[in-house]
Amino acid sequence: MNIFKSTIASVTVVSLALSMATGTLSSSIPEDIINNTAIVAEAAEVNTFSPSLAPQCCTLVLVANASATAGNSRYINQWGLKDRQLKNASCFESALANTLYYASNGAVKIPVSDIRYICDHSGAWTANEGTWRDPMIKYLDNKGYDDKYRFKFVDKGTYTNVKDKDLKSFLSSGRENVCIAHVPGHFIALVDYNAKTNKYLVIESVVYTGKNGRNLPAYGWVEAEKLNKGKSKVDWISKIRYNKKNPTKEKSSDKGTVKTSYFKAVTVKNKSIVDALKKIGADSSYAYREKVYNANGLKKTLGVFRGDAKQNAKLYSLISCGKLIKP
């Protein structure tokens, strides 16, 4: 798949006059899942872009005179985000979070803080242009977010449409199979397909209605025909599979094949490996951390374990993305 290197045309930025009335979070919904408030508005005119030139986000769909109505509070709605940059340009990351929340039946919740971190450190995102999908997928793979959130990119992306038989079969074969899909200037989540009705279950992080909008629901079934034309035309998808089990890797030894087990992914505000281990009920002593350090092969690059800041920071970086091997 070609990596997009082209730059998009200049965007005529429409000043935002948003009158937003977001709902409150239910006590049963984690704080890191944003209340999905659907923006219903007559969209102001913006430039249109060819999908071949614009793999970017919803910086292209700024609206005026907006009002809000309640949506599905289980999924991320960009219009409800306090972070202005993520509100305008994080549809790929929001689509990923929404696909995994659906596929895991609510077990996987990517916090907004992780979305912000991914955007800032991937090198595949800017607040003005949004997300470059190919390098973003590569970054998520390389940095272990696939292990942390227990998913796998089945493919790195395919140019296709909703008539694709393989796409229909994939989505129909289990809740764990979901997709991020590209429509002009935006990414959405496709999480199921109903062969009897020829409809796809869509999760939309930016509800944008009116004569210039995509007119997709925050969460709902959409006819395949609608997803094959106009501003809601799907032209690219990336298949994702959620893995219910914690990730393990097999390695060979004289005793046969051995499965490597990993600590549960965990984060703490102070980024302390000691506190991270305590949080999951693991031994945090110096002696045990030395065993963990050696089990992860860090002696080759960081020397004999001394428990210094650099070594502890490396251990924390591994446990935070679910890649710290148990001794």
Kindly report the average pLDDT of the chain as a whole number: 75
259/231 same-domain check: no
Q: Do 67 and 190 reside in the same domain of the chain?
A: yes
Q: What integer pLDDT is reported at residue 259 of this predicted model?
A: 66
- Is there a domain that residue 8 lies in? no
Say yes or no: 21 and 125 in one domain.
Answer: yes
Query: Does 55 share its domain with 147?
Result: yes
One domain for residues 199 and 255: no
327 falls within a domain = no
Q: pTM of whole model > 0.75?
A: no
> What confidence tier does 320 reach under pLDDT thresholds 50, 70, 90?
confident
Phi, psi of 216 (to 5 degrees): -105, 145
Confirm whether 117 is domain-assigned. yes
**C-alpha separations of 231 from 111, 135, 191, 210, 226 in Å:** 29, 24, 19, 11, 9
Q: Which of 210, 161, 165 is nearest to 184 (CA)?
A: 161
Domain-embedded: residue 282: yes
What's the pLDDT at 74?
Answer: 64
Domains held by the chain: number: 2
- The pLDDT assigned to 211 comes to 83
pLDDT at residue 9, rounded to an integer: 25
Q: What is the pLDDT of residues 154-181, one digit of tens each?
A: 988 999 999 999 999 999 999 999 999 9
Same domain, yes or no: 231 and 295 = no
Q: 195, 211, 242: which is the final residue of a domain?
A: 242
Q: Going by C-beta distance under 8 Å and a sequence separation of 6 or more, which residues neighbour residue 111?
A: 32
Domain of 179: which CATH number?
Answer: 3.90.70.10
Whether residue 234 is found in the same domain as residue 297: no
Residue 30 counted as domain residue: yes
> Can you list the alpha helix ranges (DSSP code H) found in 40-109?
84-88, 91-103
Q: Which tens digit of pLDDT belongs to each residue from 94-142?
A: 999 999 999 998 888 888 888 999 998 888 888 877 889 999 998 998 8
pLDDT tens, position by position, 243-259: 876 554 544 444 455 56
Q: Is the domain of 231 the same as that of 173?
A: yes
274 found inside a domain:
yes
What distance in Å separates the CA atoms of residue 70 and residue 20, rounded to the nearest whole number? 11
Instruction: Point out the domain boundary residue: 242, 277, 304.
Output: 242
Domain with 166, as residue range(s), is 17-242
Q: What is the pLDDT of residue 17?
A: 25
| Residue 11 within any structural domain of the chain | no
- Say yes or no: 32 and 165 in one domain: yes
Asked whether residue 154 falls in the same domain as residue 292, the answer is: no
| Lowest-pLDDT choice from 37-46, 268-277, 318-327 | 37-46
Residue that is last in its domain, among 180, 215, 242: 242
Q: Which residues pair with 126 in a beta bridge?
A: 130
Return the pLDDT at 258: 55
Q: What is the mean pLDDT of residues 268-278?
A: 92
- State pLDDT tens for residues 173-210: 999 999 999 999 999 999 999 999 999 999 999 888 88
- Do 170 and 230 belong to one domain? yes
Alpha helices in the chain (DSSP H): 84-88, 91-103, 112-121, 133-142, 145-148, 165-172, 273-279, 286-295, 299-302, 309-320
Task: Check whether residue 35 and residue 173 sit in a common domain.
Answer: yes
Q: 3 in a domain, yes or no?
A: no
